[in-house]
Amino acid sequence: MRRILIFGIFIFIGLKGFSQLGFCSGSKGDPIFQEDFGSGSGFGDPLQSGITEYRYVSDTDPNDGQYAISSQVGQYNTSWHSYFPSTTYSGGRALIVNADFTPGRFYRKQIDGLCENTTYEFSAFIMNVYDRDSGICENGGIPNNVRFEIWDETDAVLLKSGDTGDILSSSNPQWTQYALTFSSEPGQNSVILKMFNNGEGGCGNDLAIDDIVFRSCGDLTTVESPDTTASPVNLCAEETPYSVELNAASDNSVYEQVFYQWQQSSDGENWQDIPGANSIQYQTTALTETRYFRVKAAEDPANLGSNVCSSASEAFQVQIFPKPEPPESLGDRSACENDPIPYLEVKVGTHETANWYDDNGNLLAAGVLRYQPENAGIFYAEAVVSSRNCQPSERTAIQLEITDLPEVSDEITYICPGTLKLLEAGVSGYQYLWNTGATTETINIATPGTYSVRVSSSSECYITRTIVVNTVPTPGIIDVVTDGWDVEIIPITEADFLYSIDGINFQAESRFENVPGGIYTAYMKDTESCQVETLTFAHIVFPEYITPNNDGYHDVFEIRGIEFFPSSNISIFDRYGKLLKSGRGQGFQWNGTFINKPMPAADYWYFIEIEGYGTKKGHFSLVRD
């Protein structure tokens, strides 16, 4: 629980004292007393009778001579901080006191359960609750100044006292811990704690106190060994039995005389005294299992039996790793060929991990409890100690099976309107499930759409083939273009069509090369041969150039394929439109002369009229050496 004592002290003409505050410089025991003023929120119960003479209030910030226990501060007094920071040991309510104008004692409590001949640390957290930023008090207000006194249980002998000095106000709330040490006398089991306000009266000097704690204070004792510098000492089972010499080393910061009790534990939490082990040195027995050792120190041997009356060293551990048991398999695994390969997993003991091997004894992975193979097979895991090269366990076999699947590919196809289309799974000898519900290798469908089939060799593993069935596009020819010896069929729309110029041999390309001149029919159909479109065209091969040098090659302009047409007429012009020669198409030639005179090298134009096929025109080059 947490309670916080807050004093608003306005005019205290203080007691003067010499500060003797200081924390325990050695090792601290468990608290024998802790006043945290209660947990929870809101207001709490009043203090016990006799602790303070201030009047209790339970619904507001206290005024002069009053106190309250609450988890909130400064809810009505706007000159105070409005919350407690969570930097003390506990959390919860606060004891809030607004002091009288006269300095004096504001807290008195008897603390029982002390051990005789023992050094103690008293400590408490103090906070100046005045908010410097409120500006209500000049110069940040009167600072806090608290005096602590420890008296014997008769209230006649002052054992120790000390002053905090001035605790100034701040812009942000903050706790400061103060402490002093004192020693109990022989036969003494109780003391009286008194706290006084030394602050002067006036604006400010409002304070809070939390976590009043008494605990034993002893030498800082450590365990050392001349046999080893390691702690913990890590050993394999095959290295036992093992014995080690331990020495207690105290820093002599508190005790004038030290008494020891060695203890051992199997878990580091529950400790047992080792009979007769009371010297500064201890030799362990021959160990075959993990053990923890520590030494307790006290100023009086009678206090060694109490944790609150003595101090204890940190534990010295001898960690002995037993030979690992074979790993526990988390099961054989199986997977489909098209799925991610699963991990193989094992469980091992504390401080252990696993190494993985193939069936030839080759190390595949070290120090992991999960292993993902690359292929199917039997794999072996052995348990090993994580931090030491101890003898491993026997190996545990774990199997991974991978179910192979057939190879299939997706497809896009077409269906003719009003017809049936045969769809195939693509492989034979497996189980099939179509999205239509059919379980056969093939199905007939009558409408376009997306169809899929699960092909499997078992109910767990399958592969899916998807077939997209579209309605066939309608073929249509815009024109047929001839380019020298080549012919290209121009479709109305771009799609997957087949083309031909003889009605027998079809191809996916619309261009045909090295076609002799003549009259042809262009064919265009869809890939399912649902519909065929045709267009008859004239293919005439025009020369691109002539070289009239009488070498027998390209000496004259003549048109190949013109003989297939019933009637035609050809005219040749120069670049200015002058007619150089004309005549019937069949057998027409021009040797590059005009009135028997050679024409210069240049481009010339032809104009051809073909009965039933319109006109064609173009140009060619006359080239001379």
**CATH number reported for the structural domain that contains residue 173 in this entry:** 2.60.120.260
Rounded to 5 degrees, φ, ψ at 559 are -110, 125
153 and 41 part of one domain: yes
Rounded Cα–Cα distance for residues 489 and 479 (Å): 6
Look-up of token digits 């094992």: 346
The separation between the first and the last C-alpha atoms of the chain, rounded to the nearest angstrom, is 117
Residue ranges for the chain with pLDDT beneath 70: 1-19, 201, 459
DSSP-assigned states of every residue in 48-72: PTTS--SEE-SSS---BTEEEEES-
For residues 167 and 307, state if they share a domain.
no
Which of 441, 471, 501 is the endpoint of a domain? 471
Q: Please indicate, yes or no, whether residues 310 and 388 belong to a single structural domain of this protein.
A: no
The pLDDT of residue 449: 96
- Give the pair of three-digit tokens for residue 487: 């012919």
CA angle in degrees (0–180, nearest 5) for 483-487-489: 120
SS (H, E, C) 254-323: CCCCCEEEEEEECCCCCCEECCCCCCCEEECCCECCCEEEEEEEECCHHHCCCCCCCEECCCEEEEEECC
Instruction: Report the SS3 class of residue 3.
Output: coil
Which residue, among 278, 271, 260, has the nearest Cα to 293 in the 3D structure? Answer: 271
pLDDT of residue 201: 67
Separation CA 151–CA 194 (nearest Å):
8
- Domain holding 338: CATH number? 2.60.40.10
Predicted pLDDT at 3:
42
Do 100 and 195 lie in one domain? The reply is yes
Strand, helix or coil for residue 40: coil
Question: In angstroms, how far is CA 239 from the centroid of its own chain?
Answer: 41
Q: How many Å apart are CA 159 and CA 194, to the nearest integer? A: 12
DSSP-assigned letter for residue 253:
S
Find how far residue 386's CA is from the centre of its chain: 25
Closest C-alpha to 83, from 172, 177, 207, 212: 172
Is residue 258 a contact partner of residue 297, using CB atoms and an 8 Å limit? yes
Q: Are residues 179 and 78 in the same domain?
A: yes
Same domain, 534 and 549: no
Domain with 377 in it: 328-403
Does 212 lie in the same domain as 158? yes
- Report the alpha-carbon distance of residue 265 to residue 319 in Å, rounded: 12
Domain count, the chain: 6
Residues 46 and 61 in one domain: yes
Query: Pairing state of beta strands 411-415 and 462-471?
Result: parallel
The pLDDT, as a whole number, for residue 432 is 95
> Which of 403, 434, 462 corresponds to the end of one domain?
403
100 SS3 class: coil
Q: Quick one: 202 and 248 in the same domain?
A: no
Token reading at 4: 């916080």
CB 542 within 8 A of CB 606: yes
- Helix H or strand E segment including 483: strand 477-483
- Tell me the C-alpha distance between 613 and 538, whole Å: 7
| Last-in-domain residue among 496, 519, 539 | 539
Tell the burial category of 309 from Cβ atoms under 10 Å away from its Cβ (0-12, 13-18, 19+).
buried
Query: How confident is the model at residue 204, as a pLDDT?
Result: 83
Same domain, 20 and 145: yes
573-599 pLDDT, tens digit per residue, is 999 999 999 998 888 999 999 999 999
Burial code (b: 16+ CB inside 10 Å, e: under 16) for 125-148 equals bbbbbbbbebeebeebbbbbbbbb
SS3 call for 138: helix
Amino acid at 31: P
Angle 110-114-119 from CA coordinates, rounded to 5°: 115
Residues 238 and 143 in one domain: no
Cβ proximity of 348 and 354 under 8 Å = yes
Secondary structure of residue 134 in the 3-state scheme: helix
CB 481 within 8 A of CB 510: no
Neighbours of 381 (CB within 10 A): 28
At 239 the three-state DSSP class reads helix
**CA-wise closest residue to 118 among 15, 14, 218:** 218
Task: Please write the tens of the pLDDT for every residue from 76-100.
Answer: 888 999 988 887 887 777 788 777 7
By residue count, the chain amounts to 625
> What local confidence, expressed as pLDDT, does residue 69 receive?
84
* 555 torsion bin: left (phi>0), alpha (psi -120 to 50), beta (else): alpha
φ and ψ at 4, to 5 degrees?
Answer: -130, 130
- Quick one: residue 403, left, alpha or beta (phi over 0 = left, psi -120 to 50 = alpha)? beta
Q: How far apart are CA 261 and CA 271, in angstroms?
A: 11
Same domain? 587 vs 498 = no
Three-state SS for 358-427 is CCCCCEEEECCCEECCCCCEEEEEEEEECCCCCCCCCCEEEEEEEECCCCCCCEEEEECCCCCEEEECCC
Per-residue burial over 476-495, b = 16 or more CB atoms within 10 Å of its CB, e = otherwise: ebeebebeeeebbbebeeee
